Amino acid sequence: MHTFSLKNKAFPAFVLCMLSYLLAGTVATLMSTYLPVAIPELLGKSVDEAQLGQIGAYLNTAFLVGWMLGGLCLGIVGDKIGRIKTLAFSIFVYGFFTLLTVFVINWETLLFYRFLAGIGVGGVLVFSTVYISEIWPESSRPIALGILAVSFPIGIVLTGSLNIVFAYWRSAFWLGLIPMFLAVVTILFIPESEQWHQAKPKQMGLQESIFSAPYKKRLIAGSLVFGSVLIGLWAIFSWFPTWIQSLLGAGVDGQQERGLSMMLLGLGGITGGFFSGFLIKKLGSRHTLMFTFAGCFLACCLLFLTNVRFTPIIYFETALLSLFFGISQGALSSYIPELFPINIRATATGFCFNIGRFFTATAVFFVGSLVSFFGGFGNALLFFSITFLIALLVAFNDRAPEPESVPSSSCLK
């Protein structure tokens, strides 16, 4: 079999993966942005902050639980039937259930749709990353994966743009038609990974376990780091628009402030993700991650400790925080898949990316529940930013080899 030609095959595949990754970012954050206006309509009455927090907690948690299950279960499926079939299925699922949100009549049905959309997003993030890690030339792979990770915050920018363009929340969810179209293009025109094809004979025999001795330490460290970052990141992303709204005066609808803030969360992440590959080549993955986690925690302290009402400085501080977010996601997307051999790569990457989502979903739920205990959304979000310090500690103590120094039997050639 031939290898992928960068010009003829890998680049179009990269573009499609990037688009599906981008729209996953939009789908993941779109409901959070419209939450303050969607819930009152679905309930048919005005709601106070506590009730909004409770229903929002259920919706965000359902999405993250679906994301976790999608990443874990579809990772196993994709090691068996191939990257492209599983990727196309995942794209279609999150597009279809995003589209159905247009017609939802109550928040309980919306909860179900968000859960199923989360399953699709979980599969897309695993298989876009794994697929590109297998088809892209090794010399520039960290940069390509860093740029891929940029797609997610671009999707968040799109969320903010949709919030500004579409005042009526249902109109924005017609977006689901686009990933459904991309799913068809993927299954018809994007070729399967040659490396996965070459690894298939191994899968006919005894399947190697992700918990076996050579990979156990990497699996634990990768899961702890990624899970800790997820808790902090999604607690903030899921509740950030609601925190912005809480800083505004009574009677201010906050559409522009929420939209611009979400756009800045995305723009800073785009910049950070783009440069993550260059930082890895310069500093190595471990030192890049340590620098990033320290920056995330300090930026959270600046943002949530110094602002008690909305002022334009929040826009700058939001961009700074998202810059570190972007670097972390680009670095982790590059580092984790290459720690494992091809025949278990999707399963192991899905495990590292998603086992922490159970705790993430729990944390996101409790942000809404703990608002009263901590005295506001800002204090609650600051509490969950401690997870970045946990990730920093794990990275500091992790002595697993860098991807480029992993023995050849366990990584890409």
Radius of gyration of the chain (CA): 20
Task: Average the pLDDT over each of 91-95, 100-104, 143-147, 179-183 and give the range with the smallest value.
Answer: 143-147
Q: Say whether pLDDT at 6 is over 80.
A: no
**C-alpha angle 232-86-56 in degrees, rounded to nearest 5:** 35
What mean pLDDT, rounded, does the chain reach? Answer: 83
d(CA 339, CA 344): 10
pLDDT of residue 2: 41
pLDDT of residue 8: 56
Show the tokens assigned to 408: 């050849």
Q: Say whether pLDDT at 82 is over 60.
A: yes
Show the tokens assigned to 196: 């996965």
Residue 188: which residues within 8 A CB-CB, separation 6 or more?
none
pLDDT of residue 106: 94
- Cα→Cα distances 204→79, 301, 402, Å: 11, 51, 30
Higher pLDDT, 108 or 210: 108
Q: Say whether pLDDT at 214 is over 80.
A: no
pLDDT of residue 399: 58
Show the tokens assigned to 322: 């998202």
Q: Average pLDDT in the 254-274 region?
A: 82
Q: Say whether pLDDT at 207 is over 70.
A: no
Is the separation of the CB atoms in 326 and 278 below 8 Å? no
Higher pLDDT, 203 or 141: 141
Q: Average pLDDT in the 78-94 region?
A: 93
202 pLDDT band (50/70/90 cuts)? Answer: low
For the chain, counts of helices (H) and of strands (E)? 17, 0
Q: Say whether pLDDT at 402 is over 70.
A: no
Show the tokens assigned to 296: 């995330």
d(CA 84, CA 49): 43
pTM, full prediction:
0.72
pLDDT of residue 334: 77
pLDDT of residue 197: 81
Provide φ and ψ at 295, rounded to 5°.
Answer: -65, -40
